[in-house]
Chain A
């Protein structure tokens, strides 16, 4: 090999090294790598194969000399696969060994256009990562020992590229699996919380589905206020669990049809503090879930419970849960009263702006209601939960007027 040829081979080797470490996508890198090998020794056609996803299969990752419609993979027998995986050195057609003959017959059977005369196993760190099938050279002369050495050198670079790609694919698979597992866990988590909320609501037949509705309303209000998905998820969970403290309250008190005595009401009030204690033991990924449960009966005027907090002392999330909770309570039957109805409820809420509810939050809530009536929201979270017929025009006018007043 003269110095010019040697220089050309070195240039190719250097460019190939650069290529396999470039930031190009794998299909481009591998295709260019094949062209480099072919161009380096004036080889007319060739292909790079790796093990397919299925057992006993070799898949094309790059080729030259094949048409688009030709098969993308070839089946091989388990014996032949095992044999190929054990090969570390170049092998040529015409050899005596039966397995080599089988291999060339198989490749030619699937891809006759390749005219494969040489197989170059690709190994990286002792591991088989693929195979290059090469056709004849342009001058149809046999491959010389020097050319086989050149191919082996170039093959090392391609083997590294394939190995990296296989690692990336394995990593991607692992990430996918992990994401799926996280998703499954989320479902389990969500279902568990909902089941827990249902269990709380089951203490009182009148509050069936209450926690779920509060969660939905809280999310709708939070979204209107511009909170991001992570915070909204916290509102959702807090909505589901805001009454968890009722677990300590006697069922008879909860279901009592007559007015509660001050002692009984005191017991009811304890559910906020109890809820806080129960939820504080859980490491939620969202801030303030226990606090939202504790403060959802606080009022802006300081006359709420358990701490008598005022205005800005109450967390935003708690104010949202408070409004969602009150809205659902007023639009639902209770053992001691009939529901107020949608129209009366929103009027009652308006009346309590700056007393129990914050103006900004009521405005956001009314705005969601208005949008739902107008059919402007992709997903309705409130109106479908109201088990009553109402005059949308009257409600809409009221909401529009009130929103303007509160602005």
Chain B
């Protein structure tokens, strides 16, 4: 992984993951790992912020598929935010948006999850 970071934040009962860089290598496993750890700890609402993600390839998609599958299986809620046009199209194409809501900002996502 040349350039990928993920940080975790919390707003109420919502866990926010802010990813940064290129989601195209094994380093991206960290997103899925942190997500599953938070699920184990009992959290049920998640926001994944892609505002600072430059590129996502099939490796990155495989981690997101893992996250979305877990939310579907366990009845969790997940929102993707701040997607660039190209990433929004990618998410649509690979079917991620069928199982997760996409919203422009984290604030809107947190609001949405409050009522979800």
Residues of A within 8 A of B (CB): 4-5, 8, 11-12, 15, 28, 31-32, 35-40, 42-45, 64-65, 137-139
Contact = CB atoms under 8 A, between A and B. Distances in A.
A43 B58 CA distance: 11
B89 interface: yes
A34 B89 CA distance: 23
Contact of B89 (A4, A37, A40): A4
12 contacts: A5-B93, A8-B58, A31-B26, A38-B58, A39-B60, A39-B62, A42-B94, A43-B65, A44-B65, A138-B94, A139-B95, A139-B98
Contact of A8 (B62, B63, B93, B98): B93
In terms of DSSP, what is the predominant structure of the interface of chain B? helix
A42 B62 CA distance: 7
Contacts of A5: 93
Contacts of A11: 57-58
B62 A35 contact: yes
Interface of B: 25-26, 57-63, 65-66, 68-69, 89-90, 93-96, 98-99
Given A4-B89, A15-B57, A35-B58, A42 B66 contact: no
A229 B50 CA distance: 59
A48 to B, nearest CB: 13
A38 B65 contact: yes
A12 B94 CA distance: 13
A42 B95 contact: yes
A65 B95 CA distance: 19
A69 B24 CA distance: 27
Contacts of B90: 8
Given A4-B93, A5-B93, A138-B68, A42 B61 contact: yes
Contact of A35 (B59, B98, B99): B59
Contacts of B63: 35
A39 B26 contact: no
A4 to B, nearest CB: 6
B65 A28 contact: no
Contact of A38 (B62, B68, B99): B62
Contacts of B65: 38-39, 42-44, 138
B58 A39 contact: yes
A5 B66 CA distance: 20
B69 A44 contact: yes
Going nearest first, the 3 A-B pairs with the smallest beta carbon separation are: A39-B58, A39-B61, A39-B62
Contacts of B95: 42, 137-139
Contacts of A40: 58, 61
A19 B60 CA distance: 15
Contacts of B98: 138-139
Contacts of A37: 58
A42 B99 CA distance: 12
A316 B95 CA distance: 79
A160 B61 CA distance: 24
Contacts of A137: 95
A15 B58 contact: yes
Given A5-B93, A39-B94, A138 B62 contact: no
A36 B59 contact: yes
A64 B93 contact: no
Nearest to B70: A44
Contacts of B93: 4-5, 8
A37 B57 CA distance: 11
Nearest to B24: A15
Contact of A12 (B57, B66, B69, B89): B57
Contacts of B62: 35-36, 38-39, 43, 64
A11 B65 CA distance: 18
Contacts of B58: 8, 11-12, 15, 35-40
Nearest to B59: A35
Contacts of B94: 8, 39, 42, 138
**Which of A28, A64, A65, A138 has the most C-beta atoms of chain B within 10 angstroms of its own C-beta?**
A138
Nearest to B90: A8
A156 to B, nearest CB: 16
Contacts of B68: 138
Given A4-B93, A15-B57, A35-B58, A44 B66 contact: yes
